[in-house]
Each structure stands twice: as structure tokens, then as C-alpha cells.
Amino acid sequence: MAKEFTREEILNKLTEILVEDFEISEDLIKPEANLFEDLELDSIDAVDLAVKLQYFTDKKIAPENFKKIRTIDDVVNAIEELLK
């Protein structure tokens, strides 16, 4: 059974991954920040992020769901949904 995380824990881990692995300034990471426009991730970065989140949650985000993700808040919502 997967561990349960609060929204804050998910956001903190996501922030940690983006800062440490993608060298994104922490002050840019806000719920409304667009992963591609504001944070300048590309499609390969998005795949890397999905893999890192998979290690964090022990669950895989379905590709069709990941394609819908655009913002930091979308990522947190997707992980919350995944862990239900």
C-alpha cells in the first residue's frame, strides 16, 4: 500500500526535485507556474520528472494523465489522485 502524503509534502518533494535535479529557482515554483512556459521544462524533462515522481510515490502516472499536466498545481493534483 502506498504511503499517504499531504498536499504540502507532495509540493515540498516536487519543489526539491525541480530545484535539485532541474536547477530551477525555488522562487519560480508556485502552484500556477506552467512547467513548460514558466519553468522552461521540455518534453524530456517532463519524462524525467514523471520517473522521479514514480520513485517518490511507488506508483506510475499514466501517460494520458501526465499529458494533461501543465502547472505545478496540476502535478500535485495528479499525485493526490494517484495515491487515493
Cα dihedral across residues 19, 23, 28, 31: positive or negative: negative
> What pLDDT is recorded for position 2?
52
| Partners of 71 in the β-ladder | 34
What is the tens place of the pLDDT at every residue in 26-84? 999 999 999 999 999 998 999 899 999 999 889 888 888 888 899 999 999 999 988 88
